[in-house]
Amino acid sequence: MIRRTLRKIGAAARAYFATLNMSPQAYRVVHTLESRERAAGPGKSTPPWVHVLLFVITLGTTTMAGFSMDGTLSSAVSFSLSIMTILLAHEMGHYLAARRFGVRTTLPYFIPFPSIVGTMGAVIKIKSPITDTRALLYIGAMGPVVGFVLSLAASAYGISVSPIVPLPSGGEGEVLIFGDSLLVRGLTLAIHGHIPAGYDILLSPVAFAGWIGFLITSLNLMPMGQLDGSHILYALIGRAQLYFGWAVFLALAGLSFIWPGWIVWVLMALFFLMVGHPPVPGGRELSAGEKLLGWCCVGIFILTFIPVPIDFI
């Protein structure tokens, strides 16, 4: 298990990670901005300074989050730059893919949120129809793929400089434990080997940013609603994407008995699965390489998914 000792933050941490669930709140902020944009009339759009301001504020809140780890400027800067780079790369992957296929989108909206992470992520909004499955595949896949690569780099470096320490004997709720994905478990074993009982890794700020990046990647790759995973699977197998969505729904329903944070995602999944994915014209058939890209994203989801993201001891 990868762990980070964070004392006296129990209530704040619980409040933040209850929002892994965070997508509804993040999208509510963006929808409010977009509603104002529509009310302003045709041809109007969110001015660029709004995106810049949200980015700068989020840079500040993530810097404060990094500073809260051990009170040093180096931790503040390394965490903030790492997580902001991952988020920006993810959203620009979507944005540039959309531009390639002539699909209009907004610039990224960063969502500042004072917490132990400092942000609820970032989103872009599609503003014109996606006209074929190739565009749907690339727009859906490029964000997670780019974000995954940078998260992998951050995790590999961050874990390599994270010390192995004795597990603290603090009181209940004083130690925050971050769950492992298959990939993080493999990286830890490859870098540090077997960790003796009673010891664990104290995550460095960069490793923590990589962990958050993997979590965001896996959540976005869930095959439901307007998440990236839904777009990718729809491009690959059309309406049969719903079967994967129901499988994930059932898995999350089971996991919610272990980690209650999944309950909100179960409810979201049920709503999205009842609505279904909007139809997209077929267009040219996907090439073998494009199909491989799509199925690699499914593999990334499996490797980065964390059954129990956090716990307290």
Which pLDDT does position 174 carry in this prediction? 65
Q: Report yes or no: 221 and 227 within 8 Å, Cβ to Cβ.
A: yes
Which pLDDT does position 173 carry in this prediction? 54
Give the DSSP letter of residue 104: -
- Give the C-alpha separation, 274 to 266, whole Å: 12
R_g of the chain computed on alpha carbons: 20
Residues with Cβ within 8 Å of 132's Cβ and at least 6 positions away in sequence, in order, are: 101, 280, 281, 282, 283, 284
Q: Structural domain boundaries of the chain? A: 2-222+305-312
**192-241 pLDDT, tens per residue?**
998 888 888 999 999 999 999 999 999 999 998 889 999 999 999 988 99
Give the DSSP letter of residue 283: -
Which pLDDT does position 312 carry in this prediction? 76
- Give the C-alpha separation, 8 to 175, whole Å: 9
CA 60 to chain CA centroid, Å, is 19
Which pLDDT does position 272 carry in this prediction? 84
- Give the C-alpha separation, 256 to 21, whole Å: 12
Strands 2-4 and 199-202, by their bridges, are parallel
Which pLDDT does position 140 carry in this prediction? 95
Angle between helices 241-255 and 228-237 (to 10 degrees): 140
Type of residue at 283: G
Closest CA to 252 of 234, 277, 235, 227: 227
DSSP structure string for 10-75: HHHHHHHHTTTTHHHHHHHHHHHHHHHHHHT-TT----HHHHHHHHHHHHHHHHHHHHHHHS-HHH
SS3 106: coil
Q: What is the pLDDT along the chain (313 residues), one digit of tens a residue?
A: 444 444 334 444 444 444 444 444 443 444 444 444 444 444 567 899 999 999 999 999 999 999 998 889 999 999 999 999 999 999 999 999 999 999 999 999 999 998 889 999 999 998 988 888 999 999 999 999 999 999 999 999 999 999 998 877 755 556 778 999 999 999 999 999 988 888 889 999 999 999 999 999 999 999 988 899 999 999 999 889 989 999 999 999 999 999 999 999 999 888 888 877 877 876 678 999 999 999 999 999 999 999 999 887 7
The CA-CA-CA angle for residues 217, 246, 145, to 5°, reads: 20
- Give the C-alpha separation, 10 to 172, whole Å: 10
Which pLDDT does position 19 carry in this prediction? 42
SS3 129: coil
Which pLDDT does position 24 carry in this prediction? 42
> End-to-end CA distance of the chain, in Å?
13
Which pLDDT does position 172 carry in this prediction? 56
- Give the C-alpha separation, 288 to 36, whole Å: 43
Angle between helices 48-70 and 73-100 (to 10 degrees): 150
- Give the C-alpha separation, 286 to 197, whole Å: 49
Please identify which residue in the block is written with the tokens 């409040």.
15
Q: Report yes or no: 120 and 19 within 8 Å, Cβ to Cβ.
A: yes
